[in-house]
Amino acid sequence: MSQHYQVLARKYRPHTFSEMVGQTHTVKTLINALDADSLHHAFLFTGTRGVGKTTIARIFAKSINCEAGVSSKPCGKCPTCIEIDKGQSVDLIELDAASHTGVDNMRDILENAQYMPTKNRYKIYLIDEVHMLSKSSFNALLKTLEEPPEHIKFLLATTDPQKLPVTVLSRCLQFTLQKLTHEEILGQLKFIMEAEKLKYEELALSQIADFGYGSMRDALSLLDQSIAYGNGSVMVKDIKAMLGLVHHDDIVTLATHLFNQDAEAVINFIKDLSHKGEDLTHALKDLTSLFHQISIAQIINNKQTPAEIKILATQISNQDLQLFYHMALNGTKDMALAPSEQIGFEMTLLRMLAFHSKTEILTEKKTPKLALKPKTKTKPKAEKIKEKPLEYTSKISLNINSQQDWEDLSKSLKFTGAVKMLIKNTVFDNATDELLTLTLDDQFTSLLTDQIQLNIQNMLQNHFKKITLNIILGKPKIQTLAQKETQAKNEKTAKIQKEFLNNEGVQKLQKTFNAKVDINSIKEIENV
């Protein structure tokens, strides 16, 4: 490697707006303003570290001082552009507010503002971390911002705009730079690795992008470290070793134990991870991320979803998964308070097991309690449940011919949780001895998972002859039970509100105190 090695964050720093990654809204606004030569005197760029605040400011400085003229596409070849790129321009004064907090520093700087630029079109003050200035310094800056000379442009950057005086904010055009997405960071990392002609595994770059937490600079710094660690390559095993990460396969295995409600396997697996010196805090975050992927797989049928994720999506109900996700988030916060990292991790997963809905997971071992044992029947294999639902024998035939019949039946079967919500938003379509067809309001598509549908079918088969459930999506032509209940509740509330407003005592109080009643605050008091 060259002795004049330049870190990737500096080597691949954008020099034009077209090279910028992300921040489309800010870049578009600045491009339009430059091309129209309609420039404000002060710009404020806010956002977290490493998202491009200073970079955009420097590109903007080149754009307005380029010898080819004011344009959104600076030539990059003229002496002015080259000097700005190298940080050698005498008319681009870059200040670190953290080290120039005093009012004397600011006054000395601003006294020179009245003088014309040495050689360029504008004299530009680029003040980084401007929120670090003292109150007196802000007051000194404010006067210049109020009545700036025509040859002065202020470019302010900060990670904490809340600390800026309102008087300063009101005199600047403010641009809020967003955190970069995982895809944006990953795309840039791949581009750099290919430009450097270095070997890499995409999953390794994806992990680096995750650890960038929306900051391109942080991700590139980590990439530098990874290249050095891997001696010119970036591989998953090296990232895992360098960052103390738990392998993705281990996280999948842990989730499988959790979904199977195997507490002993969960505890033993955590102990093994701890003995290996793995970072359990990151392991819990990875588990949370896995829950997110599984939840999406339950709702969206994406061909690109890995097979392992699709399998896990069939092993847990959507409502349990949502509960696990929130427990994992809270567990991450509580890790620092636990006696040890291992104990905090174990207690979080044990909490998930304690609240696991045993009735929602349909496996060979967990058949519904109300099911009548068939006279002759072989146990279906667990993996075949989806293709061939459990069969039951009963002397009763399903006999429903209307929406009212279906509502009465669904109430009598006492469905719970997400199943109950789905049922309430369906309407009866048609039924035969072996097939029941329902229409689900398509705004509740997320509820229609294979597992929930199977739960309903099995509940019906507990009481009736073998029947297949078919739920289609659409816009119901009649009211669902949920819509009827909502309407009834609204009508009841309206009646209560009307009675309250017509009450003689209430009207007298309104008249006496010239008061108004917030009608939305009038509600029925339940369980009194």
Each residue's pLDDT tens digit, 224-237: 989 988 888 998 88
Q: 161-175, 355-369, 452-466: lowest mean pLDDT where?
A: 355-369
| Cα dihedral 49, 51, 53, 57 sign | positive
Which residue in 444, 442, 432 sits closest to 469, CA to CA?
Answer: 432
With tokens 């030569």, the residue in question is 37
Rounded to 5 degrees, what are φ and ψ at 434? -120, -5
How many Cα neighbours within 13 Å face the side chain of 286? 22
Answer with the residue of higher pLDDT: 454 or 176: 176
Q: 259-273, 389-403, 512-526: lowest mean pLDDT where?
A: 389-403
| Cα dihedral 454, 455, 457, 461 sign | positive
Answer with the residue of higher pLDDT: 277 or 257: 257
Question: Which region holds residue 498: left if phi is over 0, alpha if psi is between -120 and 50, else beta?
Answer: alpha
CB 243 within 8 Å of CB 279: yes
Question: CB under 8 Å to 226, separation ≥6 — which residues?
Answer: 204, 208, 234, 238, 239, 242
Answer with the residue of higher pLDDT: 361 or 262: 262
pLDDT band at 395 (very low <50, low <70, confident <90, very high): very low
Which residue in 233, 344, 339 sits closest to 284, CA to CA?
Answer: 344
Question: CB under 8 Å to 432, separation ≥6 — which residues?
Answer: none
Rounded to 5 degrees, what are φ and ψ at 375? -65, -45
Burial category of 453 from C-beta neighbours within 10 Å (exposed 0-12, middle 13-18, buried 19 and up):
buried
Question: Tokens at residue 456, please?
Answer: 């309903």
Q: Characterize the bridge pairing of strands 426-431 and 435-441.
A: antiparallel
Apex CA 184: angle with CA 182 and CA 190, to 5°? 100
Q: What Cα–Cα distance (Å) separates residue 278 from each residue in 289, 346, 487? A: 17, 14, 54
Question: Tokens at residue 376, please?
Answer: 């002759």
With tokens 């055009």, the residue in question is 173
CA distance 448 to 472: 9
Q: Characterize the bridge pairing of strands 123-128 and 92-96.
A: parallel
One-letter amino acid of 171: R
Helix (H/G/I), strand (E/B), else coil: 38: coil
Beta strands in 256-367 (DSSP E): none
CA distance 62 to 72: 9
pLDDT band at 361 (very low <50, low <70, confident <90, very high): very low
Q: Say how many C-beta atoms besides its own lie within 10 A of residue 333's C-beta.
A: 9
Burial category of 262 from C-beta neighbours within 10 Å (exposed 0-12, middle 13-18, buried 19 and up):
middle
CA distance 299 to 445: 8
Cite the DSSP H helix spans in 36-162. 53-65, 79-86, 103-111, 135-146
- pLDDT on residue 187: 92
Over 80: is that where the pLDDT of 99 sits? no
Over 90: is that where the pLDDT of 56 sits? yes
Q: 9-23, 77-91, 352-366: lowest mean pLDDT where?
A: 352-366
Over 80: is that where the pLDDT of 74 sits? yes
- pLDDT on residue 204: 87
- pLDDT on residue 17: 92
CA distance 368 to 362: 8
pLDDT band at 192 (very low <50, low <70, confident <90, very high): very high
The 3-state DSSP composition of the chain as helix, strand, coil percent (nearest 5) reads 55, 10, 35
CB 437 within 8 Å of CB 426: no
Apex CA 407: angle with CA 404 and CA 409, to 5°? 110
Q: How many residues does the chain have?
A: 528
The pTM of this model reads: 0.55
One-letter amino acid of 467: I
- Domains delineated in the chain: 8-176 (3.40.50.300), 182-243 (1.10.8.60), 248-354 (1.20.272.10), 382-478 (3.30.300.150), 486-521 (no CATH)
CB 14 within 8 Å of CB 50: no
Question: Tokens at residue 80, please?
Answer: 């002015």
Each residue's pLDDT tens digit, 286-297: 899 889 989 998
Q: Say how many C-beta atoms besides its own lie within 10 A of residue 148's C-beta.
A: 17
